[in-house]
Structure 1
Amino acid sequence: MIPREFKSGIGSNTPPRAGEEVTVIYDPLLPGEARTTPGSAIRFRPQAFVIAGVLALGLIGFFFLAFMVLVLLVLL
């Protein structure tokens, strides 16, 4: 088996680590046109979910406080 290196147009900014498994599909007659499958190249980033959650909660809190201020202004 001859090791080959290639670039894929899909996936995250961070390439897979050395030794990390990825699924590669290729035609044995054209190994230079190898590609990784979409599911094997996309890596889970928990930090992105934490940031999105914090932003969502912040927006919900902001609109709740704005609503409460409006209610208090109408009642007074």
Structure 2
Amino acid sequence: MYDSGYATCEDIDVAMRLGCGYRQGPFETIDALGLETVRDGLRALYAEYREPFLAPAPLLEQLVAAGVRSFRDRP
């Protein structure tokens, strides 16, 4: 949704908090952990299980490579 431009990080976080009862939205969680940490964790999971849904999203890979620290700081 975010990468396709249908929703902002804030929209998605609010929807997940209010609609699903999460304490934090996914982008808030990623920002708290750090993009690089999340990317590295997904890489490790993918390497172990080889499930395509565990591979880091291309946008996440691009942002980490560009030194971006938060989705909200995306150029």
Compute the TM-score of the two structures, normalised by the length of structure 1: 0.23
**Structure (1 or 2) with the greater strand fraction:** 1
**Structure (1 or 2) with the greater helix fraction:** 2
Structure whose CA Rg is larger: 1
